[in-house]
Amino acid sequence: FRLYVLVTSFRPLKAYQFRLGFCRFCTVKYDSSVAELDNMYVHLTNVSVQKHGGEYNSLHGGKLSVQNLRLHLESTRGKQVTEKLFDQISWLIIHSLKAIAPVIATDRHCFECYGYDIIIDNKLKPWLIEVNASPSLTSTTANDRILKHKLLDNIFNIVVPPSGIPDVRWNKIPSPQALGDFELLIDEDLVHLSENGENNTASTGKGKSRNV
């Protein structure tokens, strides 16, 4: 998985997840045998590697949208199992941000878009590989270019108010129209204002609560 997360504040933590991420696949079926240990086409999904393989398709670039992967998993593994996977991914993202929040310099006039690389094992368990600050926005396919354009457009709609002059209200409460394909992942301001008074529940863009 390559997922994009926009953080507009670390203290209090406020982050949004982009729904239009993508998944990369190898052109050769995975094989854990020692004989294939040095075969990069089996183990590395990077386009810079896979494009030299004989099975590489330049039209889709070995990529599948997160939405299409989710539909595939729902049809083959079931809706409940798929929802559990994506909830676990959100859990990984939230807790990785919480882990670094104390050491990140915070300024309400600043923001950062992170590129999350997550791998899924055969039991549909997500593993966080790395988090990229200022991830690459170059495109390798037409769909990739559309995705990156939407990503940038949505980011600017969230962080830049219509008037062009930031204020406290805009910083805290972007309009639903401004979110585009982003959804609220966590907002600690809303946690503190929650009716139950607990500090372990974050409001999400889906209108539900998630224990974090």
Question: Do 107 and 193 sit in the same domain of this protein?
Answer: yes
Query: Could you read off the pLDDT of 87-103 as tens digits, one per residue?
Result: 999 999 999 999 999 88
Question: Do 128 and 31 sit in the same domain of this protein?
Answer: no
24 - beta bridge partners?
63
Checking if the pLDDT of 154 tops 80, the result is: yes
CA-nearest of 96, 113, 135 to 8 is 113
The CA distance from 120 to 72, in Å, is 14
Question: Do 42 and 94 sit in the same domain of this protein?
Answer: no
What is the full DSSP assignment across 25-90?
--SS----SGGGTT-HHHH---HHHHTTSTT--TTTTTEEEHHHHHHHHHHHT-HHHHHHHHHHHH
Query: Could you read off the pLDDT of 44-58 as tens digits, one per residue?
Result: 666 666 565 666 566
Cβ-proximal residues to 45 (8 Å cutoff; 6+ apart), any chain: 24, 25, 26, 62
Question: Do 153 and 196 sit in the same domain of this protein?
Answer: yes
Question: Do 37 and 67 sit in the same domain of this protein?
Answer: no
Q: Among 34-43, 109-118, 123-132, whose mean pLDDT is lowest? A: 34-43
- Taking the model in full, what pTM does it have? 0.78
Question: Do 51 and 71 sit in the same domain of this protein?
Answer: no
Quote the number of domains for the chain.
Answer: 2
Q: For residue 37, what are the domain limits?
A: 26-58
Question: Do 48 and 10 sit in the same domain of this protein?
Answer: no
Question: Do 69 and 167 sit in the same domain of this protein?
Answer: yes
Question: Do 81 and 120 sit in the same domain of this protein?
Answer: yes
Question: Do 145 and 205 sit in the same domain of this protein?
Answer: yes
Question: Do 121 and 184 sit in the same domain of this protein?
Answer: yes
Q: Which two tokens stand for residue 151?
A: 């990503």
Question: Do 40 and 97 sit in the same domain of this protein?
Answer: no
98 half-sphere exposure, CB direction, 13 A CA radius: 13
